[in-house]
Amino acid sequence: MSTFDTFARAAAATRKAGVRGGRAGFRLPLPGSDKLLPYLVPVAIITLWQLGCSVGWISSRIMPSPADVASAFWTTTISGQLPEDVLVSAARAFAGLLVGGSIGFLIGIANGVSKLSEQLTDTTLQMLRTIPHLAMIPLVILWFGIGEESKLFLTSLGVLFPVYLNTYHGVRNVDRDLIEMGKVYGMSGWTLFRKVIFPGALPSIFVGLRYALGIMWLTLIVSESIAASSGIGHMANNAREFMMTDVVVLALVIYAVLGKLADVVARALERQTLKWNPAYAN
């Protein structure tokens, strides 16, 4: 049991008894319904979409049917185009997350624990945060051209601020009782940060990570659509020129699936890392 776990349980014991058991609410009277419920709305949308295309309510020139999109998926996968473009886009996205997320995390930690660091950098960061990073695309192309550097810069800039803000917020809002208890146990400096402050900030840090993942894919979609010679956005742009709407919609679906998979991994990591926290026990 970690030191933070011990402190958290001790602090919780001084408060009123927390919520026990699962969340109450309506449940479908079917076995395994909890696992199936999240897929109910997507399946309903796809079914109505296919029905609308089949009876002619939706023109195939405007919106291809799910069957056409599935056919495009199979064709581009067999040709090797889709796997290659997915790998290129994923590499770009996570490179930006690594660079921008690391910078945001380190500055958030520094500003959270140091008043001097906050006074030096927070005002500047808040001013930069108000500038839409996608509006910088023309300037970024002038700086870096249309190569990988421009996409890395934009993606890194997009994910930096949500990671920074949530890391800073998490460090600053660690329970003061836990910090005081750590000091009573003789902790200070790095030991106090490692065993009390950082674990206490993790829930907020993970919120920032999940938010950054969404911005990461959004930024990549725009940057690849404007200037790219490979990747999912490039595939969609080429398809648009030849009026291949099924491939364009497929690209959007792939972006959505990749975003969902990234969020699922982040949530699994969050639950595993925060399993000591009663809020993440179930």
Percentage of residues of the chain with pLDDT beyond 90? 39
What's residue 8's pLDDT? 54
Any idea what DSSP says for residue 280? G
What's residue 61's pLDDT? 77
Type of residue numbered 225: S
pTM of the entire predicted model: 0.79
Task: Please report whether residue 22 resides in a domain.
Answer: no
DSSP string, 199-268: HHHHHHHHHHHHHHHHHHHHHHHHHHHHS-SSSHHHHHHHHHHTT-HHHHHHHHHHHHHHHHHHHHHHHH
Task: Please report whether residue 32 resides in a domain.
Answer: no
71: containing domain: 65-275
Distance CA 72, CA 245 (A): 10
Residue 133, SS3 per DSSP = helix
Kindly report the CATH number assigned to the domain that includes residue 198: 1.10.3720.10
Of 49, 69, 52, 32, the C-alpha closest to 246 is: 69
Token pair 């959270």: residue: 112
Task: Please report whether residue 152 resides in a domain.
Answer: yes
Task: Please report whether residue 40 resides in a domain.
Answer: no
Task: Please report whether residue 98 resides in a domain.
Answer: yes
Angle (CA) 37-93-168 rounded to 5° is: 80
Task: Please report whether residue 27 resides in a domain.
Answer: no
Over residues 50-103, the pLDDT tens digits come to 899 888 888 877 889 899 999 999 999 999 889 999 999 999 999 999 999 999
DSSP string, 179-205: HHHHHHTT--HHHHIIIIIHHHHHHHH
List, as own/partner pairs, every contact residues 250-253 make where C-beta atoms lie below 8 angstroms and the sequence separation is at least 24, other chains included: 250/69, 250/72, 250/73, 250/76, 250/82, 253/69, 253/73
Task: Please report whether residue 39 resides in a domain.
Answer: no
Positions of the chain with pLDDT lower than 70, given as ranges = 1-33, 227, 281-282
Structural domain count, the chain: 1
Distance CA 282, CA 15 (A): 21
Task: Please report whether residue 180 resides in a domain.
Answer: yes
C-beta separation of 216 from 158 below 8 A: yes
C-beta separation of 88 from 231 below 8 A: yes
